[in-house]
Amino acid sequence: MKEKTGFFLTGLAWIFADQLTKALISSRLPLNSTIPVIQDFFHITYIQNAGASFGLFQNKTLAFVFLTAAVVAVLFWLLWKEKPSLGISLILGTVAGGAVGNLMDRIRIGKVIDFIDFRGIWPYIFNVADIAVVCGGILLAWVFIRQELRLSAKPAKEGKNRD
């Protein structure tokens, strides 16, 4: 039960953080404007992205809505069928929260609000939901790779014939 609670609370926290920051940015900045926080390094730049990560696949909103819904459905299925540990549930909640945050934008305005702009370091502007999806995905991959390495390092079972 705590795994499901952790999943939902983590997902809701990411959705809340994402939607709150996007509401603050979109209500205080004109579209396509920027505020330098650290000149030529970190800016708050309000844009709306009609594509996917890195500006790919522009204006495919309906496809992104269905793809995101499918990903979130798979995450729910994993939570219910596989009964992951609390740690994995928190990671799945992070990915789901980020996915739903961007999904809400796509349904509401047909685009995703982006505003985090690290100039000279990262060529693309992103948002809190993107951070959740990427960090959750990296953590999930790390956990699975670690588990696979651990499984492959286990010694052979006793009683097998040795040459």
Instruction: Specify whether 114 is catalytic.
Output: yes
Confidence of residue 55 (pLDDT cuts 50, 70, 90): low
8-state DSSP, 55: G
Q: Which of 18, 105, 114, 117 is catalytic?
A: 114
Report the alpha-carbon distance of residue 24 to residue 97 in Å, rounded. Answer: 19
Q: Which of 18, 105, 117, 130 is catalytic?
A: 130
Yes or no: say if 26 and 46 are a contact pair by the CB < 8 Å rule: yes
Nearest to 47 by CA among 107, 132, 105, 103: 105
Domain spans of the chain, in order of start:
2-148
CA-to-CA separations, 121 to 38, 74, 131, 140, in angstroms, rounded: 13, 33, 15, 25
Residue 97's CB is within 10 A of a number of other CB atoms, namely 28
Average pLDDT over residues 53-66: 68
Instruction: Specify whether 130 is catalytic.
Output: yes
Global pTM value: 0.84
Whether the pLDDT of residue 54 is over 70: the answer is: no
